[in-house]
Amino acid sequence: MVLAAVAPAIGAPLEVTEIELPETGPGQVRIRLAAAGVCHSDLSIANGTMRVPLPAVLGHEGAGTVTEVGEGVTHVAVGDQVVLNWSPSCGSCPSCELGEVWLCARSLDGATAPYARRASDGLELYPGLNVAAFAEEAVVAANTVLPLPEGIPLTDAALLGCAVLTGYGAVHHAARVREGETVAVYGVGGVGLATVQAARIAGASKVIAVDVSPAKEELARAAGATDYVVASEQTAREIRGLTGRQGVDVAVECVGRAVTIRTAWESTRRGGRTTVVGIGGKDQQVTFNALEIFHWGRTLAGCVYGNCDPARDLPVLAEHVRAGRLDLGMLVTDRIGLADIPSAFDNMTAGKGGRALVVF
């Protein structure tokens, strides 16, 4: 029996309850979780914005220690410290064959079958986004487990599984920020703070953080923001004022709201690039007219998981951490237990803090 946080149905309160995990089968790994980050995607599943089978154990950003390996697993062994990869690639679908593993058509296949049972009544539970990290332990497919590079604290390493890969990838792979360019980052939560750090690492000459909360300015500047703008109807104008009336070269939207996406696009220079990381609902409609698309020559692009290949990018991130360029700990504003996840969801909805980290 292990404790886990279960989303029973869309909009229903999260339940912290005991679950029964299966035996570790061929091609599987059993993990004792050390920590799991509370990501906006978990909230999006709980409130129905993202649809996966329920009831489910949520949590997809995690790190821990291998306690068992099934037949055929050779890349990790008992005692190894690992990071969970919630979006494994199959290697054979059209996207994978093109090298775009972040768009793998089968990446969420593992979330479609029950993997555990609620101890109280035997109710079948699904593994959320494949890895069910909001639990003391998890049994996962071997392709969702990546060895943790040496020199990275295990607890903070959980953030590498989503927030940091996404923020880093948005800057380095999706937007392809070049040294000397100016960058605006919309939304200073966990992913936004990682994006700010990534822009600094890329050599951006100016990094403007934008958020609805004035209280986040100190955190944003600690991550590397050179300027801070409290979001309003004048945001795009303020950003142009900070960039010689031109607008930024790159805007990264980490919120997932129509008004923020539109503002991010408007705050870029003519020919600028806007990368959308935030996950919005179907009701968030963004509109443009044909003339402005032609006139401004801007690019608007989506970004899934930072357009990252975790196996390739994790060692790169680890080197940035070891060199002191990337600070994982500063992304965490709250260290909590499983029972505190609903409060973390409330803070996220209210725009408070950075990343909340469940520590086991």
Identify the weakest region by mean pLDDT among 96-100, 104-108, 180-184, 280-284.
280-284
pTM of the full structure: 0.95
Predicted local confidence at residue 325, as pLDDT: 96
Using CA atoms in the order 262, 266, 271, 275, what is the torsion angle rounded to 10 degrees?
A: -40
Region 139-146 average pLDDT: 97
Answer whether residue 351 shows pLDDT above 90.
no
Closest CA to 255 of 168, 170, 327, 187: 187
What's the sign of the alpha-carbon dihedral 169, 170, 176, 182?
negative
> Are the C-beta atoms of residues 254 and 277 closer than 8 Å to each other?
yes
Mean pLDDT of the chain: 96
Please, what's the b/e burial string for 216-250 (b: 16 or more CB within 10 A of its CB; e: otherwise)? bbebbeebbbbbbbebeeebbebbbebbeeebbbb
The residue whose two tokens read 């086991």 is: 360
pLDDT digits (tens, 9 = 90+) for 21-71: 999 999 999 999 999 999 999 999 998 888 899 999 999 999 999 999 999
Question: 166-304: which CATH topology?
Answer: Rossmann fold (3.40.50)
Q: Which two tokens stand for residue 235?
A: 């945001």
Region 81-100 average pLDDT: 96
| CB-neighbour burial class of residue 284 (10 A; exposed 0-12, middle 13-18, buried 19+) | middle
**Type of residue at 341:** I
> Binning pLDDT at 50, 70 and 90, where does residue 9 land?
very high
Closest CA to 38 of 108, 109, 129, 114: 129
Predicted local confidence at residue 352, as pLDDT: 84
| DSSP 8-state secondary structure symbol assigned to residue 135 | B
Predicted local confidence at residue 320, as pLDDT: 97
Q: Domain 2-161+327-359 carries which CATH code?
A: 3.90.180.10
Answer whether residue 354 shows pLDDT above 90.
no
Predicted local confidence at residue 92, as pLDDT: 96
> Binning pLDDT at 50, 70 and 90, where does residue 350 land?
confident
Q: What is the domain partition of the chain in residue ranges? A: 2-161+327-359, 166-304
Predicted local confidence at residue 353, as pLDDT: 83
| DSSP 8-state secondary structure symbol assigned to residue 126 | B
